[in-house]
């Protein structure tokens, strides 16, 4: 469970006790601790290298320094344990929590609503597991019930010194995260309607999410506007937050006292939000200063809109009795009845006055209107928000925005938006959104012709398929889906000038008069990819630059993949055999045509026969053809076996025909083979097997697709270090890459922005990895591998599993980097040890693993170029 915290770490690294609750803590300075929850942990516990696990002795809420001292919360280094709000519950403690929720939750909720009391699902729940908080909890609603149900088990503190997380406890913290050291990763505009720059004034650093901004609006630097509509003369200051606000032209249909206020201004460092009230009581606009603490009392320097309460009361010419009951001991913003329930224009006018805008109430009319209104405090508002209506209004607002963005995309653009996600946002609202999707479909008859030169057909078909599904026409969507993949194959073939080739020569002898070679044999290594995979895959590589860093290796002292082709005189058909003793004889060559069945064991060879054009070659009119293939690698290994085997077959066939059997030409042909087979795939596998050693390969979109293979001139010392430190381990699990590839390609065709940024980063890391190896920085390569592994998990959340996680957890103390090769999900793993000694220890640990990991460590060598 997490509260107002975004975890940025791998939860599998947590050391969680059984049958107990556990709260994640982190050491922090006392000034930070005084504004948050603090955990007092027992001095006894388990200490690790970067963490500790101790019982929780007490919990403090926003303690002063003296309270920290009195509560023995200050650590030996002068810091305190920050309560991150991240809680894990396991075993019997979890069973009791679930039993409580199942048996009593509905009764508790109904009673809380009826009595209008408050129960903190965080503070009260945690207190049930901490005995020193039981006395406080007994006086809380349902406190005794919580203690009886949960109090038998304890809570531990897991303190980590290197976990990262983002805390969103205050509005100021939200803005700090958006403008902090990672601000370059923040999307400044999402699902929004913003006018041209000449019609408004919006700072470049402003974040606008799910909002409609009209002409005439001004928004300052580092502000956040979310789920709002702003029109008319509206001025939002810098470092301000606006949430759920709907401001129209202020002078339209407004009372006379409002019409003179033609401009609404939210000052710098202020917050403004609007919420609906239960029982159709209307809506309330709330405003305060960014750094106001609602719970700090007036006599403890509490503030409103950044000013001390004394100054606020004097400036507004009101008494404290106007906003606080005499029974309030702590007069603070939390219990101040400030916010009136009025019409939106009236609330805005009163807001300007309360926030201290000068000259807003020269005759006292706004003040009288405020005094005569029904007003609520934040405390009352907290119990009166209609959360259901809030969600309904927000969903409708975002659905309307999504529909407007989709219409613009279809009408004016090149389908660069994620129409699938826009449809999802629309359909979450109501059934009328289906009609919008049907309306968008009407754009298609002319759209393809209009943008035929710049819009790939595969993208157009993908959008059409998504709109058909959103419209409920599943059968038509399935038919269009076939066109999507056919277009990807066609675009790939077009980009590399391959297809069903005609015979390159009708002669039966070579240029020097000798007979054609009767037999060709090709043996190839497999490849391991360090980083950059997915950027080589069509249609990405047809439209955007790609870059992959990989290495050709032999396994167990031999090249594991190969093929032989032989022209025969005893038959005129094609005989295909593989290393599983399967064979097929095809005497009717015209029967070799795509598409092939997925369970056809010979579709790879058949696809190679089509792509190379040998089926139309004159040599097959006088002789037959025998092809044999082998791959001494586990199926689904992730080592690029399928593509490399296709490369071996294609190279053999080219040699028989005396066609261009250069590695670059073969690599291009294999791209088409993969598309015809229906497995997709990019260029990195065949490049990895065809070109020896370590290489960094870049692709550049164009007609044709251009590949630039740059071998890394590795020193003997670097090769030796890699061979000593890098473990190539088979996990024993198999996963077919084309299943994953379909999902990733579909996300790309939908223009999924997160996927695009992840693949772009992988390509950048490939270039960085090359530089690291060129400089002999093997440890730096390890860090790059770890980042790449994280990106692969974003691209496909199922590329890891429990066995892989256990393998990497065991390897972590010995390694500076690790990842699965290929698409992941199983197959081979690369474990880059910190030193040759660590590699020896890791090999021994894998062999003697207490966890029972059934993995195999392979002996390998870099497949270096053969001497000429």
**Is 292 contained in some domain?**
no
**Is 94 contained in some domain?**
yes
Q: In this structure, how many other beta carbons lie within 10 angstroms of the beta carbon of residue 387? A: 10
**Tokens at 227, concatenated:** 């789920």
Phi and psi of 531, rounded to 5°? -170, 155
Q: State the CATH number of the domain containing residue 682.
A: 3.30.230.10
Question: Is there a single domain that holds both residue 746 and residue 841?
Answer: yes
| pLDDT score for 3 | 61
Q: State the CATH number of the domain containing residue 824.
A: 3.30.70.890
| pLDDT score for 511 | 41
| pLDDT score for 761 | 95
CA atoms of 204 and 207, how far apart (whole Å): 8
On the 0-12 / 13-18 / 19+ scale of CB atoms within 10 A, 801 is: middle
C-alpha distances out from residue 187 to 202, 224, 406, 757, Å: 15, 12, 19, 11
Beta bridge partners of 399: none
Q: Which among 135, 167, 199 is the end of a domain?
A: 167
**Tokens at 735, concatenated:** 């996963």
Question: Is there a single domain that holds both residue 632 and residue 645?
Answer: yes
**Is 330 contained in some domain?**
no
Question: Is there a single domain that holds both residue 720 and residue 783?
Answer: yes
Per run of 10 residues, the mean pLDDT along the chain (length 868 residues) is 68 80 89 86 82 91 89 91 88 91 78 74 86 92 90 90 74 84 75 84 92 93 94 92 84 45 85 91 92 88 93 91 83 94 90 80 86 92 89 90 87 80 80 82 65 79 91 92 88 68 42 58 96 93 94 95 90 89 91 86 92 85 90 87 94 88 87 81 90 94 87 92 96 74 90 92 96 95 95 90 90 95 90 96 87 86 74
Question: Is there a single domain that holds both residue 734 and residue 667?
Answer: no
* Nearest C-alpha neighbor of 306 from the set 266, 339, 337, 341: 266
CA atoms of 503 and 127, how far apart (whole Å): 80
Q: Which among 149, 167, 185 is the end of a domain?
A: 167
Contacts with 402 (C-beta within 8 Å, 6 or more apart), sequence order? 191, 422, 423, 425, 426
Question: Is there a single domain that holds both residue 92 and residue 116?
Answer: yes
Beta bridge partners of 322: none
**Is 370 contained in some domain?**
no
Question: Is there a single domain that holds both residue 40 and residue 123?
Answer: yes
Question: Is there a single domain that holds both residue 483 and residue 557?
Answer: no
How many domains, in total, are found in the chain? Answer: 4
**Tokens at 628, concatenated:** 């044999």
Question: Is there a single domain that holds both residue 720 and residue 699?
Answer: no
What are the strands of the beta sheet with 283-289, ordered from one edge? Answer: 189-190, 207-209, 224-226, 241-243, 270-276, 283-289
**Is 545 contained in some domain?**
yes
CA atoms of 657 and 502, how far apart (whole Å): 12
Look at residue 349 and give its three-state secondary structure: helix
| pLDDT score for 724 | 96
Residues of the domain holding 744: 716-760+773-862
**Is 656 contained in some domain?**
yes
Question: Is there a single domain that holds both residue 707 and residue 728?
Answer: no
Question: For residues 645 and 561, is the Cβ–Cβ distance under 8 A?
Answer: yes
Question: Is there a single domain that holds both residue 703 and residue 742?
Answer: no
pTM of the model: 0.77
Q: Which among 143, 167, 191 is the end of a domain?
A: 167
**Is 497 contained in some domain?**
no
Question: Is there a single domain that holds both residue 720 and residue 823?
Answer: yes
107-112-118 Cα angle (round to 5)? 135
Look at residue 689 and give its three-state secondary structure: helix
In angstroms and rounded to an integer, the radius of gyration of the C-alpha atoms of the chain is: 34
Question: Is there a single domain that holds both residue 30 and residue 119?
Answer: yes
* Nearest C-alpha neighbor of 285 from the set 384, 372, 351, 356: 351
**Is 189 contained in some domain?**
no
């Amino acid at each position: 469970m997490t509260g107002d915290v975004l975890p940025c770490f791998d939860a599998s690294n947590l050391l969680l006790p059984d049958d107990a609750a556990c709260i994640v803590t982190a050491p922090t300075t006392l000034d930070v601790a005084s504004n948050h929850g603090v955990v007092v942990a027992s001095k006894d516990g388990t200490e690790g290298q970067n963490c500790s696990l101790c019982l929780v002795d007490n919990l403090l809420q926003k303690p002063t320094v003296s309270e920290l001292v009195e509560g023995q919360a200050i650590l030996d280094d002068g810091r305190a344990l920050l309560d991150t709000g991240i809680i894990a519950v396991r075993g019997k403690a979890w069973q009791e929590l679930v039993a409580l929720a199942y048996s009593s939750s509905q009764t508790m909720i109904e009673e809380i609503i009826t009595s209008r009391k408050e129960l903190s699902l965080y503070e009260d729940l945690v207190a049930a597991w901490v005995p020193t908080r039981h006395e406080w909890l007994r006086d809380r609603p349902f406190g005794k019930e919580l203690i009886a149900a949960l109090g038998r088990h304890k809570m531990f503190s897991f303190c980590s010194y290197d976990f990262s997380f983002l805390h969103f406890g205050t509005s100021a913290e939200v803005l700090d995260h958006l403008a902090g050291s990672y601000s370059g990763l923040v999307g400044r505009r999402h699902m929004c309607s913003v006018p041209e720059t000449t019609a408004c004034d919006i700072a470049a650093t402003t974040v606008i999410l799910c909002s409609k901004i009209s002409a005439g609006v001004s928004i300052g630097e580092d502000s956040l506007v979310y789920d709002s509509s702003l029109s008319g003369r509206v001025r939002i200051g810098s470092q301000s937050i606006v949430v759920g606000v709907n401001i129209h032209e202020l002078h339209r249909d407004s009372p006379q006292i409002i019409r003179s206020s033609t401009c609404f201004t939210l000052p710098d460092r202020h917050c403004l939000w609007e919420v609906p009230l239960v029982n159709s009581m209307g809506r309330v606009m709330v405003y305060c200063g960014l750094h106001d603490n609602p719970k700090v009392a007036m006599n403890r320097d509490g503030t409103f809109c950044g000013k001390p309460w004394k100054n606020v009361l004097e400036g507004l010419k009101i008494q404290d009795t106007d906003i606080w009951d005499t029974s309030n001991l702590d007069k603070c913003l939390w219990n101040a009845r400030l916010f009136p329930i009025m019409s939106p224009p009236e609330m805005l006018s009163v807001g300007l006055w309360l926030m201290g805008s000068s000259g807003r109430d020269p005759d006292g009319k706004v003040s009288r209107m405020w005094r005569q209104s029904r007003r609520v405090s934040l405390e009352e508002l907290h119990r009166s928000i209609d959360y259901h209506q809030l969600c309904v209004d927000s969903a409708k607002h975002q659905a309307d925005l999504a529909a407007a963005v989709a219409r613009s995309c279809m009408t004016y653009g090149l389908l660069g938006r994620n129409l699938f996600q826009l449809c999802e946002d629309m359909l979450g609202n109501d059934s009328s959104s289906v009609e919008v999707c049907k309306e968008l479909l009407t754009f298609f008859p002319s759209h393809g012709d209009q943008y035929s030169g710049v819009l790939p057909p595969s993208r157009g078909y993908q959008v059409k398929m998504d709109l058909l599904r959103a419209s409920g026409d599943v059968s038509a969507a399935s038919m269009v889906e076939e066109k999507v993949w056919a277009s990807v194959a066609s675009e790939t073939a077009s980009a590399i000038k391959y297809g069903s080739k005609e015979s390159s020569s009708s002669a039966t002898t070579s240029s020097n008069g000798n007979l054609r070679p009767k037999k060709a044999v090709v043996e190839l290594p497999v490849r391991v990819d360090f980083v950059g995979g997915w950027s080589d895959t069509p249609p990405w590589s047809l439209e955007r630059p790609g870059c992959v860093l990989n290495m050709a290796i032999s396994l167990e002292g031999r090249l594991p993949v190969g093929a032989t082709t032989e022209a025969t005189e005893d038959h005129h058909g094609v005989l295909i055999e593989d290393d599983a003793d399967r064979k097929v004889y095809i005497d009717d060559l015209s029967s070799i045509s795509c598409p092939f069945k997925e369970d056809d064991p010979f579709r790879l060879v058949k696809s190679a026969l089509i792509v190379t054009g040998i089926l139309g070659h004159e040599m097959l009119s006088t002789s037959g053809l025998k092809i044999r293939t082998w791959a001494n690698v586990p199926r689904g290994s992730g080592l690029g076996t399928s593509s490399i085997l296709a490369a071996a077959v294609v190279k053999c066939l080219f040699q028989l025909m005396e066609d261009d059997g250069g590695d670059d030409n073969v690599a291009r042909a294999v791209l088409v083979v993969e598309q015809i087979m229906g497995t997709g795939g990019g260029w990195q596998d065949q490049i990895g097997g065809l070109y020896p050693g370590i290489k960094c390969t870049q692709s550049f979109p164009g007609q044709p697709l251009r590949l630039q293979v740059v071998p890394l001139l590795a020193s003997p010392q670097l090769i030796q270090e890699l061979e000593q430190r890098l473990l190539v381990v088979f996990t024993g699990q198999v996963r077919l890459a084309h299943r994953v590839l379909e999902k990733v390609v579909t996300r790309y065709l939908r223009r999924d922005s997160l996927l695009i940024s992840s693949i772009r980063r992988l390509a950048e890391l490939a270039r960085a990895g090359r530089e690291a190896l060129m400089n002999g920085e093997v440890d730096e390569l390890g860090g790059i591998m770890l980042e790449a592994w994280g990106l692969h998990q974003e691209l496909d959340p199922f590329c890891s599993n429990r066995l892989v996680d256990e393998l990497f957890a065991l390897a972590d103390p010995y390694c500076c980097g690790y990842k699965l090769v290929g698409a992941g999900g199983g197959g081979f793993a690369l474990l880059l040890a910190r030193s040759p000694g660590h590699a020896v220890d890791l090999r021994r640990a894998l062999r003697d693993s207490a966890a029972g990991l059934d993995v195999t460590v392979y002996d390998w060598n870099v497949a270096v170029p053969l001497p000429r």
